[in-house]
């Protein structure tokens, strides 16, 4: 990546790259919440507009043929790092590039890419890393569509998989990776907390196990950080190489867009970018612009939702119709010291999405969900509004029954994502809904 903004490289619409000093005031390194207001964008390049315009164009004009050739060397992978200017909206655009600059800020990632959905980000990652005969080792459970992509779609093309439970110990991780190492492990893929059980993965243990078992080329460790990131977890610090996001969730945060993101080292991002350029899974400029708006309030929204979740879960944990609340804030002093230890080392907050296990089964879960007034019966999470859903009958319906039971995705499980409403109002809503159980 370059800091070049001259029109002779970009063809009329200068590439909005951050200036080297944009992350500091004197010797003070600026916080991400401050940098979301302007990082990577210079108003002078867009008629003085305070906010970046939406660049609705399919293609960009080259100033000369040599510049066009130089850009396509980056687009096609003949030269790493992508285009040095704007080329075509399947490859890049001003809105997407500013968004990618800001996504990387939160976790101090070397580079980032934006995608049309979380699943397009995951699919592009997999397609860029694996080939027939390779093995993906992953934690379980994963988001149902991710499990389907690995087992049913990539499996048709000769890609194998092995998994270990999300809360696995170092010895359990060693056993799976040692078994997988007899073949070619192309990728270690994690999801933490796991969807929908909220079980944490010990990223540090996975990294240590990988480094001990694979003596030569080491498979990259990728992790879906959607549930806690970037405010409450930053897994690059624990040894992950690549971080995946459904930007639809907290980053977007208003339930009005669908997008995905991948962060990591320049080496890995260059590989993934080449695949994205080929299959066209980049997000559109309007979605990128909406995400830029949302990132400005990310810390505020996540903080409020986290505070609300702590109050709501405290009410739910002692309710006579509740069997268990799978909330990360309750790990300390709980029965599962292993999970509590991971939480202390990996997380800075408990998040706002949790698992509610009601006493009963599907009938009781449905009665509760159908009685909610403020909370909306809908899938997804991380929005300004509170959402509730039934994983076994909705998001994870396609998962085989035996695997659902093994992973704890039971009929009495309700997944709840707390929003930014008044916490006492939410408690009143849940209290009334529980009367129907």
pLDDT at residue number 17: 52
The HSE-up count of residue 264 (CA atoms within 13 Å, CB side) is 24
Structure tokens at 162: 């092995």
**Could you tell me the two tokens for 81?**
């790092």
Determine the pLDDT at residue 401.
86
Q: What is the pLDDT along the chain (437 residues), one digit of tens a residue?
A: 334 444 444 333 444 454 444 788 999 999 999 999 999 999 998 999 999 999 999 999 999 999 999 999 999 989 888 888 999 999 999 999 999 999 999 999 999 999 999 999 999 999 999 999 999 999 998 998 999 999 999 999 999 999 999 999 999 999 999 999 999 999 999 999 998 888 999 999 999 999 999 998 999 999 999 999 999 999 999 999 999 999 999 999 999 999 999 999 999 999 999 999 999 999 999 999 999 999 999 999 999 999 999 999 999 999 999 999 999 999 976 668 999 999 999 999 999 999 999 999 999 999 999 999 999 999 999 999 999 999 999 988 887 888 888 778 899 999 999 999 999 999 999 999 999 99
Q: Three-class SS string for 134-158?
A: EEEEEEECCCHHHHHHHHHHHHHHC
Query: Which residues, other chains included, contact 264 with Cβ-Cβ below 8 Å and sequence gap of 6+?
Result: 109, 110, 111, 112, 220, 222, 236, 241, 242, 243
pTM listed for this prediction = 0.92
Q: At what angle do helices 337-346 and 203-213 cross, to 10 degrees?
A: 90
CATH of 299-434, picked from 3.40.50.20, 3.40.50.10440, 3.40.220.10, 3.90.1150.10, is 3.90.1150.10
Q: 248: which DSSP letter?
A: I
DSSP state of 160: E
DSSP strand pairing (134-140 vs 160-165) = parallel
CA–CA distance, 261 with 120 (Å, rounded to integer): 9
Residue 328 is classified by DSSP as: G
Q: Are 136 and 296 in contact (CB under 8 A)?
A: no
With H, G, I as helix, E, B as strand and everything else as coil, classify residue 276: helix
Q: Buried b vs exposed e over 269-292: b needs ≥16 C-beta within 10 Å?
A: bbbbbbbbbbeebbbbbebbbbbb
How high is the pLDDT of residue 144?
A: 87
Buried b (16+ CB within 10 A) or exposed e, 385-403: ebbbbbbbeebbeebeeee
| Bond prior to 4 in cis (omega within 30° of 0) | no
Q: Where are the domains of the chain?
A: 299-434
Q: Over the stretch 377-423, which tens digit does the pLDDT of each residue have?
A: 999 999 999 999 999 999 888 878 888 887 788 999 999 999 999 99
Report the Cα 161 to chain-centroid distance in Å.
21
Distances (CA, A) of 108 to 9, 32, 63, 264, 282: 27, 9, 34, 9, 22
* Per-residue pLDDT at 334: 67
**pLDDT confidence of residue 9:** 40
Indicate left, alpha or beta for 240 from its phi (over 0: left) and psi (-120 to 50: alpha). beta
pLDDT of residue 252: 98
State the pLDDT at residue 335. 65
Going by DSSP bridges, is the β-strand pair 221-224/184-191 parallel, antiparallel, or unpaired? parallel
User: Across-strand partners of 160?
Assistant: 135
């Amino acid at each position: 990546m370059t800091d070049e903004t001259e029109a002779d490289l970009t063809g009329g619409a200068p590439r909005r790259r951050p200036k080297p000093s944009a992350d500091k005031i004197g010797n003070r390194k600026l916080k991400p919440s401050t940098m979301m207001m302007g990082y990577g964008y210079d108003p002078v390049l867009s008629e003085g507009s305070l906010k970046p315009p939406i660049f609705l164009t399919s293609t960009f004009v080259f100033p000369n043929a040599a510049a066009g050739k130089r850009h396509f060397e980056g687009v096609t992978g003949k030269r790493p790092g992508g285009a040095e200017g704007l080329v075509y909206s399947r490859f890049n655009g001003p809105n997407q590039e500013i968004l990618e600059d800001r996504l990387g800020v939160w976790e101090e990632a070397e580079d980032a890419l934006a995608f049309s959905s979380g699943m397009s980000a995951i699919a592009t990652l997999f397609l860029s890393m694996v080939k027939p005969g390779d093995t993906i080792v992953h934690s379980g459970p994963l988001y149902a569509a991710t499990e389907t992509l690995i087992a049913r779609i990539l499996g048709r093309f000769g890609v194998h998989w092995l998994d270990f439970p999300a809360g696995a110990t170092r010895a359990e991780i060693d056993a799976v990776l040692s078994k997988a190492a007899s073949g070619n492990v192309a990728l270690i893929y994690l999801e933490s907390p796991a969807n929908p059980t909220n079980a944490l993965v010990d990223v540090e243990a996975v990294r240590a196990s990988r480094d001990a078992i694979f003596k030569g080329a080491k498979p990259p460790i990728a992790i879906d950080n959607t549930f806690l990131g970037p405010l409450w977890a930053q897994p690059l610090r624990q040894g992950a190489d690549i971080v995946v996001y459904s930007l639809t969730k907290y980053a977007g945060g208003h339930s009005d867009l669908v997008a995905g993101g991948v962060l990591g080292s320049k080496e890995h991002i260059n590989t993934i970018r080449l695949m994205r350029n080929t299959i066209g899974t980049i997000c559109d400029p309007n979605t990128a612009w909406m995400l830029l708006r949302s990132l400005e309030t990310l810390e505020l929204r996540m903080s409020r939702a986290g505070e609300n979740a702590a109050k709501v879960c405290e009410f739910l944990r002692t309710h006579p119709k509740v069997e268990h609340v799978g909330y990360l804030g309750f790990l300390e002093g709980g029965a599962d010291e292993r999970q509590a230890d991971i939480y202390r080392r990996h997380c800075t907050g408990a998040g706002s999405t949790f698992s509610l296990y009601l006493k009963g089964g599907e009938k009781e879960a449905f009665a509760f969900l159908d009685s909610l007034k403020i909370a909306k019966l809908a899938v997804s999470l991380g929005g300004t509004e509170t959402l509730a859903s039934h994983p076994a009958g909705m998001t994870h319906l396609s998962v085989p029954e035996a695997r659902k039971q093994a992973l704890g995705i039971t009929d009495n499980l309700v997944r709840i994502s707390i929003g930014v409403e008044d916490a006492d109002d939410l408690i009143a809503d849940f209290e009334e809904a529980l009367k129907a159980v």
